[in-house]
Each structure stands twice: as C-alpha cells, then as structure tokens.
Amino acid sequence: MSSAYLLRRFLLAIPSLLGISVVLFCVLAMAPGDPFEELTLNPNIPPEVRLALRASLGLDDPVYLRYFHWLFAMLKGDWGFSFVSRIDVDRLILQRVPTTVAVIGTSQVLAILVAVPIGVLAAARPYSLFDQIANTMAFIGFSLPTFFTGLLLILFFSIQLDWLPMVYQSTLRETGWAWWWVQIKQSIMPVMVLGLFQGASLVRYVRSSVLDVIKLDYVVTARSKGIGQRKVLIRHVVRNALIPVVTLVALQMPIVFGGAIVTEQIFRVPGIGSLLITSILANDTPVVMGVTFVFACLVVLFNLIADILYGWLDPRISFR
C-alpha cells in the first residue's frame, strides 16, 4: 500500500468529518434544554451573574459563530469545558477511555475467537447436527437484547450463585495480583454480554461467506489435487472468506462503542457510553459533542483499517 493512497484517504476524511461536525453541532444547538437551568432556579445567583457566565461561554452567540469558535478551538487542542464535571472535555473522555477499550476490546476478541471457528466448521459441514446447533444458538444470541442478557447474568451469577460482582467498580482497594483478580471478575459479565451478542451475528456472516468461497473453482481444483480438507479450508478458503467479515468487524466497532451504552448502564461501567448518557441528561453540550465526534472519527478510522486489511487478505486488491 502506497503512502499516496493513505494520504489521499486522510484528505478525503477531512470534508467528511467537517460535514459530520456541522450536523452534530446544529442538532445539539437546536435541542431543547439549557445547561444553566439549575442556575436560573437558584435564588442566590443574581441574574447579571448568569448572563455574564453565558456571555463568557458564548452561549448567546449565533449558531454559526459558536460552531467556528468550537472548530478553531478543536484544531488547537481545546475540546471545551464540561458544565457539569468542571474539567476539560478531553481529560474527561481520556479518563473513561481505558475502561471502555478494555471491556469492548476484550469482548470483540472473544466474539472473533468464538465466531470464526464455529462459522467455518458449520460451513464445512452444512446442514449437519453441528451446523443446526450453531445456527440455533446464533439466532438466539443476536435475538436477545443486551439488557435482557445482562439482567439474566446478574440474576444467575451475582444473586443466585454470588460468584461475580453485579456492579463494576472503578476504584479498587486491592493491589498486586488481587487487583487483577477482582478486575477480571467484574469484567466477565460485561465482556460476555457484548462478546456473545457480537459473536452470534458474526457466526452467521462467517458461515455464509465460507459457503460462498468453498464452491469456487480454485477450491475444487485444490481438492482434486489431493490436498486435505483441513489444509484447503485454512490455506484457500478461510483467508478469502474473511474479507467480507473484516468489513463487518471494522464497521461494527463504532457501533459496538455506541451499543455498549446499555451494557455500561446495566453494570455501572464508567466508560464513554455512560458518560454520553449522563451528559445528554445534564445538557452538557461540550461533552456530548466531544464524545459523538470521537465516534465519527472511529467510523472513518476503522473504514481505513478495513481497506488496509483487504490488501493483506487478498493480494489481488490493489491500492492506487
């Protein structure tokens, strides 16, 4: 892959991100609610103080002026100031990123490790007992919403068996190996909920993709030469069958970040999703704008990662 292709993709991403930022900013500007609503209800704060505070933050300026102020500040590295937490938005987001990345990253790895072998084996033996069981479990997995699965796991593992904590704690008193053990225990249920939900849908895609590739001429030719079934699957089928799966995984990553909002609310995981919900409820516009813009950047980034992986999986794909 040439550096010119990467540069061109980055340049094409700039107008996309600008357009997304304009839409997000206008929607948030037109949304009902006032971040200083509590101040208006507080009789101890004079009206002139409230007006001066709004003027200092530019909340009474026209929408287009406020957008340009936000854009130029973002280009300088200033993401704004949280009205609720009273700290910078970038610091607030960075505080939540490690937890979200750990939970979502582990769940996505679990989904891939479960889905790829099951999907390949189900496609290698279509309509067999294993294939029917895998399809049934996959249908059940992505038919159940994450909040229902999460409540079931809490009811069984936390309330009935008392094996796992039902609430995720960001500050642990333990140190050393004990800290790792408690961290693993409290991460098991959120990771299982997200990983099994994503893995169930991936099983169907992997199975369908392998079934399409396994009928191609070059696979039949490889078998006619006496190559074993396992070697044909690994060397000739799986690699080409994973191309559409890579697209799905790459494009689903930002959706997984957004879908983790429900799971983070159930288990009280202090991640980006719960930050977005609390900021929306509190009309904390700078934080909402910052988090949603991060999601938009993730979409562009994972699209680029998918294109790069295309060339690695299929040498016939050229980047010009």
Residue 271 belongs to a domain: yes
pLDDT of residue 313: 64
How many Cβ atoms from other residues are within 10 Å of residue 5's Cβ?
16
Residue 36 in tokens: 């200083």
Nearest to 211 by CA among 134, 125, 135, 138: 125
Residue 54 belongs to a domain: no
Q: Range of 111's domain?
A: 89-313
pLDDT of residue 201: 82
pLDDT of residue 312: 67
Residue spans of beta strands (DSSP E) within the chain = none
Residue 17 belongs to a domain: no
CATH code, 179:
1.10.3720.10
Residue 49 belongs to a domain: no
- Residue 32 backbone dihedrals phi, psi, to 5 degrees: -70, 160
Each residue's pLDDT expressed in tens, for the chain with a length of 320 residues: 567 777 787 788 888 888 888 888 888 877 776 666 665 666 666 767 667 766 766 677 788 888 888 888 888 888 888 877 778 888 888 888 888 888 888 888 888 888 888 988 888 888 889 888 988 888 888 788 888 888 888 888 888 888 888 877 777 777 778 878 888 888 888 888 888 888 888 888 888 888 888 877 777 777 777 777 777 777 777 777 877 777 777 777 766 766 677 787 888 888 887 888 888 888 788 888 888 888 888 878 877 777 777 766 666 665 55
**Four-residue CA torsion sign, 31, 35, 36, 41:** positive
Residue 53 belongs to a domain: no
What's the angle, vertex CA 242, arms to CA 241 and CA 243, rounded to 5? 95
Strand, helix or coil for residue 88? strand
pLDDT of residue 38: 60
Residue 21 belongs to a domain: no
Residue 3 belongs to a domain: no
Strand, helix or coil for residue 81? strand
Residue 136 belongs to a domain: yes
> Into how many domains does the chain fold?
1
